[in-house]
């Protein structure tokens, strides 16, 4: 779903989280980083400002245009936006040092969520990392969490159904478990409403 004023409403609220992600994840200038379901590209922009070779993909043409507009305005050359589906990424295996998704899976049904994470695992390097930023489950019992529920309810439709299923099925913790991902680090934001998780492929079988 595209919010007409997304850049003026949601992006500013999440700005401090976006800015914290490169350091949280241990990214370095020159790293190849892919952000899936990138929306307006706000997270990708922050990666690029950090010196990262950043790529953002989204199925929303309006969102991608917004990212390209901001890339041009800021004269960032180490950034690329591609109109593409996160369930079928147009990249070869093991291409990226990091693959992230920021608030891009809580609004999807389980089948779509699993396809997205499977694709993220495919295109990250074996020694690379995955970064997830989304709602903490269960949500805390506080005002920020109530506001988050209201925002998701207003979104309605498939978005809200995905959100309810995300909460019901255990959120990021269950997704990491189901995909055999080793959680390395977590950090909480916005009074515990948002969690960031850094994970990697479980290579124990090797």
pLDDT, residue 101, reads 98
List alpha helices for 26-105, DSSP H. 42-49, 61-73
Report residue 21's pLDDT band, with 50, 70 and 90 as the boundaries.
very high
Task: Read off the CATH number of the domain in which 77 is found.
Answer: 3.40.50.150
- Band (pLDDT 50/70/90 cuts) for residue 2 is very low
Q: 54: Cβ–Cβ under 8 A, 6 or more apart, which residues?
A: 33, 34, 35, 44, 45, 47, 48, 78, 79, 80
Res. 26: pLDDT tops 50 = yes
- pLDDT at residue 87 in the model: 98
Residue 30's domain comprises 6-201
Q: What is the pLDDT of residues 92-144, one digit of tens each?
A: 999 999 999 999 999 999 999 999 999 999 999 999 999 999 999 999 999 99
Evaluate if residue 62 carries a pLDDT over 60.
yes
The answer to the question of residue 98 being in a domain is: yes
CA pair distance 156, 58, nearest whole angstrom:
20
Number of domains in the chain: 1
Decide if 197 contacts 172 (C-beta within 8 A).
yes
Tell whether 1 is covered by a domain: no
Tell me if residue 19 falls in helix, strand or coil. Answer: helix
Does 5 score more than 60 pLDDT? no
| Within-domain flag for 206 | no
């Amino acid at each position: 779903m595209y919010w007409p004023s997304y850049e003026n409403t949601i992006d500013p609220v999440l700005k401090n989280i976006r800015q914290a992600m490169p350091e949280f994840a241990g990214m370095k200038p020159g790293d190849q980083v892919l952000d899936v379901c990138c929306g307006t590209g706000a997270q990708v922009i922050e990666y690029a400002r950090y010196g990262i070779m950043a790529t953002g993909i989204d199925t929303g043409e309006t969102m991608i245009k917004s990212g390209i507009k901001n890339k041009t305005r800021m004269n960032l050359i180490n950034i690329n936006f591609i109109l593409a589906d996160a369930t079928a990424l147009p990249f070869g295996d093991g291409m990226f040092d990091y693959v992230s998704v920021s608030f891009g899976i809580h609004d999807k049904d389980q089948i779509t969520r699993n396809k997205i994470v499977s694709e993220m695992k495919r295109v990250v390097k074996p020694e690379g990392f995955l970064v997830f930023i989304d709602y903490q489950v269960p949500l805390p019992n506080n005002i920020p969490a109530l506001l988050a529920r209201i925002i998701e309810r207003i979104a309605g439709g498939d978005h809200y159904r995905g959100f309810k299923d995300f909460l019901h099925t255990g959120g990021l913790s269950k997704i990491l478990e189901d995909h055999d991902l080793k959680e390395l680090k977590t950090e909480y934001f916005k009074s515990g409403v948002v969690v960031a998780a850094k994970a990697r492929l479980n290579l124990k079988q090797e």
